[in-house]
Structure 1
Amino acid sequence: MDTATLVFLIVGGLGVAVLAVGLLGGEILHFGDVGADGPVSLEMVAGFAGTFGFAAAIANELIGAGSPGLVVAATAIGVTAAVPAGWLTMRLSRAARDMPTDATPTRTDLIGSLGVVITPIHPGGYGEIRVRVGGQPVKLSARANQPIPLGAQVFVVEAPSDTSVVVEQTPPVQ
């Protein structure tokens, strides 16, 4: 392996490392501002550099670059491979960053939901109920004014905290 190939591999490795930091830890470590990226993002530059380095190293080894002209040819091949890879990296990172998501459920979303008692509720004490929030089953501590037996259907009337509710038993279906 000659010096040019080693340099290309180092550039490719640094590109991959910067891409990993940008995708996985950029916002955690506060590297850059997502709104200040403009047309060129950190992910795009890293994707370009990684692809350029590895493609140029492969080309350099395959053409047996020993002269400066062949190293320039390997560099051109690396740039040719890196331009679409950088563009694709930019598109994919923007799509992931701008992906719409549902709002996070809050305790006000619990009020009015129906649930089932999974641990009996005693007067003045807590039991447990299971409700569905956002389509997912959630187990909550529950209290009520009167005792409610295991398996009874309940209606949430108040949510004093994110993990506890006040319930009333619903009439049995006939």
Structure 2
Amino acid sequence: MPTTVQIVATGTLIFLIIGGAGVAVLALALLGTELLQFGHVDLDGPVSLETVAGFAGAFGFGAAIVNELLGGGTPGRIAAAAAGGVLAAVPTGWLASRLSRAARNMRTDATPTRDDLVGALGLVVTPVPLNGYGEVRVRVAGQPVKLNARADHPIPVGAQVFVVQALSETSVHVETY
């Protein structure tokens, strides 16, 4: 016959395993692993995986804490521990749902294209020879980008230039500024 201490330890262990599994699934879901994705990629169903995982994690850990505090050696105390887990899990699941939805729907800037290079101001970092390529550093969308550069005449290191044509995604035609 198991003792009360063994029942409490077993109940707590089961709740901790539920909580750990919930946290592991939540971490994978938030990292974008598309765990358990069925059907269409954008189809989450009525409840997102992040919500379920957050709920399960909070339920498991909350119930384990309450189970230890109550000394859950009886079915009634284990049920009370589970109820305490639900009290912790509902707001956590709601918060996980709101945060994951906010992250998914976050607005981002458009990805810069080669057309965004035209008109950019820059600085020569490797001399641009007459019939070859040098290197320039320009700012595109606020980020410094180093590009191969051609010009109609030689341009020395340190000269300020502007881009008149984007020859490719990584090379431009420049003139002195």
Query: What TM-score comes out, normalization by structure 1 length?
Result: 0.91
Residues 72 and 23 (structure 1 numbering): CA distance in 2 closer, same or farther, change over 3 Å? same
* Identical-pair percentage: 68
Aligned residue-pair number: 169
1:159 deviates by: 1.2
Output one character per residue of 1:116-149: Cα deviation in whole Å (capped at 9) or x when no partner: 1121111111111111111121111101121112
Structure 1 residue 71 corresponds to structure 2 residue 78: yes
The one of 33, 37, 46 aligned to 1:31 = 37
Instruction: Tell me the distance in 2 between the aligned counterparts of 1:138 and 1:125.
Output: 19
Instruction: Tell me the distance in 2 between the aligned counterparts of 1:103 and 1:169.
Output: 29
Instruction: Tell me the distance in 2 between the aligned counterparts of 1:160 and 1:154.
Output: 16
Unaligned runs of 5+ in 2: 1-7
CA-based RMSD:
1.6
Output one character per residue of 1:58-97: Cα deviation in whole Å (capped at 9) or x when no partner: 1001110100000000000000110000000000111111
Residues 88 and 73 (structure 1 numbering): CA distance in 2 closer, same or farther, change over 3 Å? same
The one of 46, 52, 55 aligned to 2:59 = 52
**Residue equivalent to 1:61:** 68
Give matches, 1:140-159, under 5 Å.
140-159=147-166
1:46 deviates by: 0.2
59-68 or 146-155: bigger deviation: 146-155
Unaligned runs of 5+ in 1: none
Structure 1 residue 126 corresponds to structure 2 residue 133: yes
Residues 136 and 30 (structure 1 numbering): CA distance in 2 closer, same or farther, change over 3 Å? farther
Instruction: Tell me the distance in 1 between the aligned counterparts of 2:93 and 2:162.
Output: 54
**Residue equivalent to 2:99:** 92
Instruction: Tell me the distance in 2 between the aligned counterparts of 1:162 and 1:31.
Output: 35
